[in-house]
């Protein structure tokens, strides 16, 4: 039986509404237990989702915070006016790791799914892979200018990359984008085994990273806005311009849920675990959270 759920003010909670005008970015943990938000210029706040208890409240040493991500016991924050990112243990409230990414400002940050690595992308389009616990730079890739839409793990822009360790995939993207301008408006979401590709805003292809073959395809999906993998890549979701979210099983592309009325919100974040969907979004009246059973 498919899930069918409509979002409205009566089935959500609002977090820290009185500081809404200072809200810069936010994230929800994969296990749906914690939510973190950053407020201008350098305040970091964390809540438990089960009771909305505010268990984390810290002023960062990094000013003009612009990005925050979470994975397990760590959060990472970055500033659009700095080349440094800071990793914080959320239970010790200690800024214990500082990573400096050359002399170019940070554009995006994300953790790997296994929490071992951190990815940073700066304004010079250099993608760096860190072993952040050892403060060690493992690798970095200079992305071509054709990747002007590229950013890591953001749902509101053209391209999403969660894990990037397959150089042949990067070469394929570079060649196709260079040779065919229709790809400049496509969106790509990568994981360990597959990637999803939106073509001409109306169809999706699930492609194997190993064989480069199309595994499954869905067509006639007009109004696609963005796509992303969730729950260790077992599922993926699509956000449509009409305000609906569709949830699919990755292996079969079977539709398992429809969530409606999301069009009033920006920077939508979705997680799925143990048959619970958590949706986090922002509008003029505050940061909203829905838990859909």
CATH number at residue 193: 2.40.10.480
The CA–CA distances, whole Å, from 145 to 178, 184, 276 equal 10, 11, 39
Q: Is residue 37 part of a domain?
A: no
Mean pLDDT of 33-44: 90
- Which residues span the domain enclosing 158? 145-262
pLDDT at 174 over 60: no
Mean pLDDT of 249-267: 83
pLDDT at 100: 79
160 and 187 in contact (C-beta within 8 Å)?
yes
57 and 45 in contact (C-beta within 8 Å)?
yes
**246: which strand partners?**
238, 258
Domain count of the fold of the chain: 1
Portion of the chain with pLDDT greater than 70, in percent:
76
pLDDT at 56 over 80: yes
Portion of the chain with pLDDT greater than 90, in percent:
5
Of 130-139, 182-191, 198-207, the range with the highest mean pLDDT is 130-139
pLDDT at 21: 67
pLDDT level of residue 186 (50, 70, 90 thresholds): low
Q: Is residue 102 part of a domain?
A: no
Q: What pTM was computed for the model?
A: 0.75
Tell which wins on pLDDT, 260 or 147: 260
Q: Is residue 4 part of a domain?
A: no
Q: What is the C-alpha to C-alpha distance for residues 96 and 89, in angstroms, rounded to an integer? A: 7
């Amino acid at each position: 039986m498919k899930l069918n759920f409509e979002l409205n003010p009566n089935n959500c909670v609002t977090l820290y509404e009185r500081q809404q005008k200072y809200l810069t970015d936010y994230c929800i943990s994969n296990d749906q237990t914690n939510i973190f938000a950053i407020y201008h210029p350098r305040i970091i706040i964390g809540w438990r989702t089960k009771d909305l208890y505010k268990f984390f409240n810290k002023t960062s040493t990094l000013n003009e915070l612009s990005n925050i991500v979470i994975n397990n016991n760590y959060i990472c924050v970055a500033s659009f006016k700095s080349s440094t990112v800071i990793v914080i243990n959320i239970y010790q409230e200690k800024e214990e790791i500082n990573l400096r990414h050359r002399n170019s400002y940070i554009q995006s940050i994300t953790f790997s799914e296994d929490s071992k690595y951190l990815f940073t992308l700066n304004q010079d389009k250099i993608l760096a892979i860190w072993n952040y616990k050892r403060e060690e730079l493992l690798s970095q890739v200079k992305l071509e200018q054709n990747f002007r839409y590229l950013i890591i793990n953001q749902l509101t822009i053209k391209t999403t990359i969660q894990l990037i360790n397959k150089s042949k995939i990067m070469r394929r993207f570079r060649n196709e984008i260079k040779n065919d301008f229709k790809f400049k408006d496509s969106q790509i979401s990568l994981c360990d085994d597959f990637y999803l590709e939106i073509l001409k805003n109306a169809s999706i292809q699930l492609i194997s990273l190993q064989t480069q073959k199309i595994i499954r395809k869905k067509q006639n999906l007009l109004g696609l806005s963005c796509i992303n993998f969730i729950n260790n890549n077992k599922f993926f979701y699509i956000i449509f311009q009409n305000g609906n979210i569709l949830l699919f099983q990755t292996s079969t592309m079977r539709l398992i849920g429809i969530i409606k009325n999301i069009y009033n919100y920006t920077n939508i974040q979705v997680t799925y675990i143990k048959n619970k969907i958590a949706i986090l979004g922002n509008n003029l009246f505050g940061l909203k959270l829905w838990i859909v059973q």
